[in-house]
Chains A and B, each alone.
Chain A
Amino acid sequence: DQQVKQNSPSLSVQEGRISILNCDYTNSMFDYFLWYKKYPAEGPTFLISISSIKDKNEDGRFTVFLNKSAKHLSLHIVPSQPGDSAVYFCAASRVDNNDMRFGAGTRLTVKP
C-alpha cells in the first residue's frame, strides 16, 4: 500500500526558473516530512524537512510547503540550477513510529 505518492515520474525545467515537485500522502498520522535528493550511483541525501506544526520551511533556494488538509507537500527550488538535476524522493514518518515511507521519486532535469 503506497502511503506516499509522487505522481510525476519526471520534470524538466529551464535553468533559472522555478522547479516544483509534488508529493501526496494518505496517512493523516504522518507528522514529519522530508525531501531527499539522489544522484546516480549514490545514496539519497537529506535536503530539507518540515514538521506538521508548520506549513512552510525554507533553506536557501529550497522551500517545502505542507498543506495538511489536502495531505500534500511540495518542494520549490528557485532558481533551478543544472546541478539540481537528480531524483527527488519525498518521505513521511511519524515521530512515534520508525517506519518512514518514501515516494517513488521524481526525476528533475534542469536544462542550461
Chain B
Amino acid sequence: DSGVTQTPKHLITATGQRVTLRCSPRSGDLSVYWYQQSLDQGLQFLIQYYNGEERAKGNILERFSAQQFPDLHSELNLSSLELGDSALYFCASSVWGALGETQYFGPGTRLLVL
C-alpha cells in the first residue's frame, strides 16, 4: 500500500460523457501527478499540481482538466470522452531525497469508454 488512494477503481461510461477521477496523496505530500497508461503504452505524464497550483503540464488533452484542492486531494476531469480515452489513469505523490524525487503511485482507475 503506497498510501495514495484513487477512486473509483473502475469506471464504465459512454462516448461523449464526462467523468471525474479522484486522488488523495500520501499524508504530507504536496505534489500530485496524473498519468495515463493505455494498452501497450508506457505511462504518459498528463499534469502535475503542487500545493494547489499547476506546476507542469505534459501530454494532456484540452478535453481533460485537473485541480488540486486545499486539502491536497486532486481531481482529473475527462470530458467529451472518446473510445481512445479508455485507459488506466494513475495518480502519484512524491517525496524528495537528496538526489532526486521518487513518486508513489495509487492503484489506478480503469476507465472504459463504450
Q: Is the CB of A104 within 8 A of B41?
A: yes
Which residue, of A31, A46, A51, has the highest number of chain B Cβ atoms within 10 A? A46
**Given contacts A43-B90, A43-B108, are A99 and B45 in contact (CB under 8 A)?**
yes
Chain A: minimal CB distance from B21 (Å): 13
How many residue pairs at the A-B interface have CB separations less than 8 Å?
Answer: 72
**Given contacts A44-B90, A89-B42, A89-B43, are A98 and B102 in contact (CB under 8 A)?**
no
Give bound CA distance, A99 to B92, whole Å.
Answer: 13
Q: Digit string of B47-91 for contact with A (CB within 8 Å is 1, else 0)?
A: 010100001101000000000000000000000000000000010
**Given contacts A98-B31, A98-B55, A99-B58, are A46 and B103 in contact (CB under 8 A)?**
yes
Within 33-70 of A, Cβ neighbours of B (below 8 Å) are at: 34, 36, 41-46, 49, 51, 53
Q: Is the CB of B45 within 8 A of A101?
A: yes
Chain B: minimal CB distance from A96 (Å): 11
Which residues in A have their C-beta under 8 angstroms from that of B20?
none
Q: Which single member of A46, A51, A91 contacts B99 (CB below 8 Å)? A: A51
Residues of A bordering B, CB below 8 Å: 4, 6, 9, 31-32, 34, 36, 41-46, 49, 51, 53, 89, 91, 93, 95, 97-105
